[in-house]
Chains A and B, each alone.
Chain A
Amino acid sequence: MEFYAGYYDVIVIGAGHAGCEAALAAARLNCKTAVFSISLEGIAMLACNPSIGGTSKGHLVREVDALGGQIGINTDKTFIQIRMLNTGKGPAVHSLRAQADKRKYHVSMKLTLENQENLDVKQGEVKAIKVLGKRVDGVLLTTGEYYKCRAVVVATGVYLKSRVIIGEFSSNSGPSGLFPANYLSRCLADLGFRLRRFKTGTPARVNRRSIDFTKMKEQPGDEIIIPFSFMNDSIVREQVPCWLTYTNSRTHEIIRQNLHRSPLYSGVIEGVGARYCPSIEDKVVKFKDKESHQVFIEPEGLDTLEMYAQGLSTSMPVDVQIAMYRTVPGLENVEIMRPAYAIEYDCIDPTQLKLSLESKDIEGMFFAGQINGSSGYEEAAAQGLIAGINAVQYIKDKPPLILDRSQAYIGVLIDDLVTKGTNEPYRMMTSRAEYRLLLRQDNADLRLTEAGRKVGLVDDKRYDRYMKKKELVEKELERIKEIIISPTDRILEFLERKGTSLIKSGITLYDLLKRPEIGYDDIEELGFDNKELGRQEREQVEIQIKYEGYIKKQIRQAEQFKKMENKIIPEDIEYDDISGLRIEARQKLKEIKPRSIGQASRISGVSPADISVLMVYIEKMRRSKIFEKRE
């Protein structure tokens, strides 16, 4: 029995990592918002590994944080271990990764949603999204409630018609035994969305008591904790270790003997899996020569003995799982609590979306997260935030927030998805970013907080911190250019001790800091540092000095790039009227509807010659419009 149940400005479908950010953003931007989840136990569930961040994903977390999102703050509240990865490499690729307490992460995010003004958290399954004309009208639940709304953010994750597969067994189920969403796929297809079937998988959870850690290598967290959120300078917390062990030839033998029982190889699984997230059977088959593979045993939380076996993702039958897990040193007597499984789900072709994450065909309908063909909590959160912001911008009739590839990993992520599409679950990687040295995790606030402030999501507290940091860094860079270091005995002794070449005449402190052997903290003993500067500012000053040359080089590249991005293609362009375009290019352009010449140039099948034709045509269009106006 269908009935009118109320009105919201924004309705978010799904309360995973995308849905949470979308709902919080919309509510914080003063829109009356509701978020629906099939089960409230599924809110912000870390359904796969209990970790947040990692290379490039850590960047995404920082970016979401800089824009006023929640994932960084929630991770800081609930992590039980944190590490900065890649510290041996350049600053652009330093990446934070935290082990989160799975249950606390969920509880903390759920409470944040519950406390949020303007936001209603509701359990319920959305059956259909109603569209009037070309505009969203509301959502209908399976239980009959009809909520009218202005905008919808679809963030259904892996729940659409999801099917869990364990060996020969399969069942229509969401992750971790939660209900799947069986109705919405049909509605999306009817609305014209092209659905695809993707697949992902997760390893078994094992009981801590059954593990012999003496056979494994301990992996502790960092001694000095660097938090995710720019709002936290330092956190002091007891951390728990992860453990490293390896598969061996016996493990691989068991897998090979049972390959015929793997649904991946027997054809039971139809969905497309990701190359970067292979199951252990995939690894053994594809890399025959590799004698062992790493297995990380990671705690799922402090209130549980469940441990996550990273590296042993599989869709083998349970008996094979047990046998093969028990060949791994330290897991000889392991008790599996939850078996590993593969999961298939429906998602849409993201090239049907605009860069704002709004549907190209239906006004007010936004998509975020795994439904767009991505994978990962961080990728989902990033899209959720942008979709939430842009749903509000749409309602307020303001231009969408679009970050470009030279501004943020978020920009790279969304541009890749909507411009190129994806044939497998899409994961962020630093090698996807062309302007990596500009998109560092340490400067995400300097890059993005202003944009977050402009849309209204950055509060005074965050904005003040950002302004203060920016000002301190700028002033400090000026200051140290003025300070001249002379070759006194004390200085020479210092230089010698640091293993750097001596100086004959005076040089600026700025030039001294350019030397790889000398860091900002080193000049403290000389009394040349500025005590006002905190950790974040010191880091910033040091990086900006040390890598000045490369940073400038990338800024030049980014400027070139921007010029093409700023050449906007009129929305009313008729590609069929442009005679010089090749047929393939015309079809692609009609389908993707690029926003700018820059975006058009990244579509596969559009050549530089096509771009030239397009540019000349647009200029012609522009001039004839001016001409019409004059008449």
Chain B
Amino acid sequence: MLMEDTIAAISTPIGVGGIGIVRMSGNRALEIAGNMFRTKNNKKLEYFKNRYFNYGKIVDSEGNTVDEVLMVIMRAPNSYTKEDIAEIHCHGGIIPLRKILKIAIQHGARLAEPGEFTKRAFLNGRIDLAQAEGVMDLICAKTESAAKTSLLQMEGALSSKIREMRENLIDIMARIEVTIDYPEEDIEEVDKEQYAERFTFLIEEIDRLLSTAEQGKLIRQGIKVVIVGKPNVGKSSLLNALLRENRAIVTDIPGTTRDVIEESLDIKGVLVRILDTAGIRRATDIIEDIGIKRSKQSIQEADLILWVMDASRPYDDDDLEIAEDIKDKKKIVVLNKMDNPMVIDLQAINDHIGNAPVIKTSVKLGKGISDVEDCIHDMVMGGKVLAQDEVLITNLRHQEALIRAREHIEEALSALEKDIPLDLVSIDVREACDAMGTITGETVTEDLLDKIFSEFCLGK
């Protein structure tokens, strides 16, 4: 499993650059690339020349175009890893890259471990001994971060759901296996319809989870920063100032409304989505009320809050309400309009928000903007804000495992329908368990035997 499958990864830094590259390596790399790539004249991938750019598009499982890309293939052994490699050069930005990677995984690639391309290059004799030390460091570093990641996974609702489904599968398998290993015990044989029902239920569960992962993708595109504040304190001006100084990333995220403006930008290498919300105050009319509700909704979803205040106005009840709304959130207080005399009571603010950093700005004069950027960057990199990147990788693994498991459950179900004996159906159930077990590192056999012996009374 470790060296023989085909791996895929986004090979360019996320959120930077006009183009991005998804790379695959392994004995199925060309086959998978071929399955997801269409050229204008339907030229087959196997006729592509080595190391030449081929223009075409990537299509998803429904045949919809995902992106226009350039495909480069490098056949073994003339590649970095000495395996077949396919590189897909697509538009930069997280969305096309992630979509393409996901399609590759659906076609049978496995998400690469950190440093895995280099590891393969080394094991296949491509790079020299000195470079190998670097590989070791990479893998070792990975071990530690993996421990951290797995902790996150353990806590994640998604992974506990996966565990639950895996237990369901183990239970099905135990019921099948026990009648095989103990044919003479008077164990009630479960009829096939019941198994079929349970498989169908599991497939539905997986589909439901996969679709939530799809929705969740929007959240996972970077650190979500929400700008809040009373009306007319300079929220939109701050956003524009941040946008002016940083390259905005064009996204195709739907749902941008007139009430919540959203932009993605790259602040010193950190991918940030900034949402500018409608000003929060006690509503005076219905339309404004809707806007305010949406603002509050955005606050709930925020990883980090930029609370903008007009330093030239006193701290009032509207501020108090905002302070209440954001009290559980990581936040930065931005005291704007410092070009005017400062009226606001800093002590009162501190009393309400604890020890959040306070940055003084004058957006009008362009002062303090870079301090805001530094502060965002430091909070993210310093771990004060949860780095969504980790969750992103983790969840992609969950997705991958689920897609694999689903395939096998489908096969088990269709085998049942074809009246294939249960011991053969069980082969796919075991594979599905294995796929789900890759997340938690559990092995099937022991769990299965535990289940069999705890559930059934067996033996001479």
List B contacts of A432 (CB < 8 A). Answer: 445, 449
Pick out which of these stretches binds chain B: A88-96, A341-349, A356-364: A88-96
User: Hey, which bits of chain A sit against chain B, CB under 8 A?
Assistant: 48-49, 55-56, 85-86, 88-90, 92-93, 95, 203, 274-278, 283, 286-287, 290, 293-294, 296, 310-311, 313, 429-432, 434, 436-437, 516, 547, 550, 553-554, 560, 563-564, 579-580, 582, 597, 601, 604, 607-613, 615-617, 619-620, 623-624
Query: Contact between A286 and B457 (Cβ–Cβ < 8 Å)?
Result: yes
Sample 14 A-B pairs with CB under 8 A, ordered by A number.
A85-B184, A86-B183, A88-B421, A93-B180, A286-B457, A430-B181, A431-B180, A436-B423, A550-B420, A612-B139, A616-B119, A616-B135, A619-B122, A620-B132
Residues from chain B with a CB closer than 8 A to the CB of A601 are: 2
A49 CB, nearest partner CB in chain B, Å: 6
Compute how far the CA of A476 lies from the CA of B453 in the bound complex, rounded to whole angstroms.
Answer: 43
In whole angstroms, what is the CA distance A274 to B458 when docked?
11
Cβ A431 vs Cβ B136 within 8 A: no
Task: List B contacts of A431 (CB < 8 A).
Answer: 173, 177, 180-181, 445, 448-449, 452
Q: Which of A56, A274, A437, A607 contacts B181 (CB 8 A)?
A: A56
- Residues of chain A contacted by B63 (CB below 8 angstroms): none
Contacts of B458 in A (CB 8 A): 276, 278
Are A287's CB and B457's CB within 8 A?
yes
From the candidates A89, A293, A617, name the one contacting B423 in the complex (CB within 8 A): A89
Closest to A56 in B: B181
> Is A616 a contact of B132 with CB atoms below 8 Å?
yes
Complex CA distance for A607 and B1, rounded to whole angstroms: 13
Given known contacts A619-B132, A620-B132, is B427 in contact with A564 (CB within 8 Å)?
Answer: no
Residue of B nearest to A554 (CB): B427
Q: Give chain A residues whose Cβ lies under 8 Å from the Cβ of B183.
A: 55, 85-86, 95
Cβ of B323 < 8 Å from any Cβ of A? no
Provide the residues of chain B in CB contact with A604, threshold 8 Å: 443
Is B2 a contact partner of A283 (Cβ separation < 8 A)?
no
One digit per residue, 1 when the CB lies within 8 angstroms of any chain A CB and 0 when it does not, for chain B 426-460 equals: 01001000000000010101001100110001111
Partner of B123, one of A90, A278, A616: A616
Give A132 to B449 CA distance when docked, in angstroms.
Answer: 42
A589 to chain B, nearest CB (A): 15
B4 part of interface (Cβ distance < 8 Å): yes
A101 to chain B minimum Cβ distance, whole angstroms, is: 19
List residues 372-422 of chain B with CB under 8 A from any CB of chain A: 419-422
In contact, A294 and B184 (Cβ under 8 angstroms): yes
Known pairs A89-B422, A313-B460; A563 contacts B3 (CB<8 A): yes
Residue B155 at the chain A interface, CB threshold 8 Å? no
Contacts of B55 in A (CB 8 A): none
Tell yes or no: B286 within 8 A of A by CB: no
Given A277-B460, A431-B448, A612-B119, are A437 and B2 neighbors across the interface (CB < 8 Å)? no
Question: Which B residues are in CB contact (< 8 Å) with A553?
Answer: 427
Q: Give the Cβ gap from A23 to chain B, nearest Cβ, in Å.
A: 28
Given contacts A612-B113, A612-B119, 5 further A-B contacts (CB under 8 A): A436-B423, A564-B3, A579-B140, A609-B139, A616-B123
Residue of chain A at shortest CB distance from B434 = A434
B174 to chain A, nearest CB (A): 9
Q: Does A437 contact B460, Cβ atoms closer than 8 Å?
A: no
A-B contact count (CB 8 A): 140
In the complex, what's the smallest C-beta–C-beta distance from B394 to chain A, in angstroms?
A: 16
Contact between chains at B459 and A624 (CB < 8 Å):
no
Q: Is the CB of A86 within 8 A of B427?
A: no
Contact A620-B427, Cβ < 8 Å, known A55-B182, A86-B183 = no
User: Given A430-B180, A563-B4, A620-B132, is A609 in contact with B423 using a C-beta cutoff of 8 Å?
Assistant: no
CA distance A182 to B173 in the complex (A): 44
B444, chain A: closest CB distance, angstroms: 9
How far is it, in angstroms, between the C-alpha of A101 and the C-alpha of B410 when the chains are bound?
48
Cross-chain contact A560 with B181 (CB below 8 angstroms): no
Give CA–CA (A592, B276) in the complex, Å.
60
The CA of A580 and the CA of B186, in the complex, are separated in Å by 51
How far apart are B186's CB and chain A's nearest CB, in angstroms?
6
Given the complex, which residues of A lie within 8 Å of B113, measured CB to CB?
612
Among residues of A, the one whose C-beta sits closest to the C-beta of B422 is: A89
Q: How far is the CA of A497 from the CA of B427 in the complex (A)?
A: 33
A314 to B: closest C-beta gap in Å: 11
> Closest 6 CB pairs between A and B?
A90-B421, A287-B457, A275-B453, A580-B140, A431-B177, A609-B143
A615, B129: Cβ atoms under 8 Å?
Answer: no
Shortest Cβ distance from B116 into A: residue: A612
Q: Tell me if B142 is interfacial: C-beta within 8 Å of chain A.
A: yes
A90 in complex: contacting residue of B146, B424, B459, CB < 8 Å:
B424
What CA separation (Å) do A612 and B7 show in the bound complex? 15
Q: Are A580 and B2 in touch, CB under 8 angstroms?
A: no
Evaluate contact between B139 and A607: CB separation under 8 angstroms.
no
Question: B324 at the A/B interface (Cβ < 8 Å)?
Answer: no
State in angstroms the CA–CA spacing of A144 and B148 once bound together.
63
Decide: A616 near B453, CB < 8 A? Known: A55-B180, A436-B427, A623-B129.
no
A516 touches B419 (CB 8 A): yes
Assess whether B184 is in contact with A547, with CB atoms less than 8 Å apart.
no
Chain A residue at minimum C-beta to C-beta distance from B438: A608
**Per-residue CB proximity of B114-151 to A under 8 Å, as 1/0?**
00000100110000010010011001101100100000
* Bound-complex Cα distance A516 to B173 (A): 24
The answer to whether A580 and B181 touch across the interface, beta carbons within 8 angstroms, is no
- Give chain A residues whose Cβ lies under 8 Å from the Cβ of B445: 431-432
Report Cα–Cα, A190/B136, bound state, in Å. Answer: 41
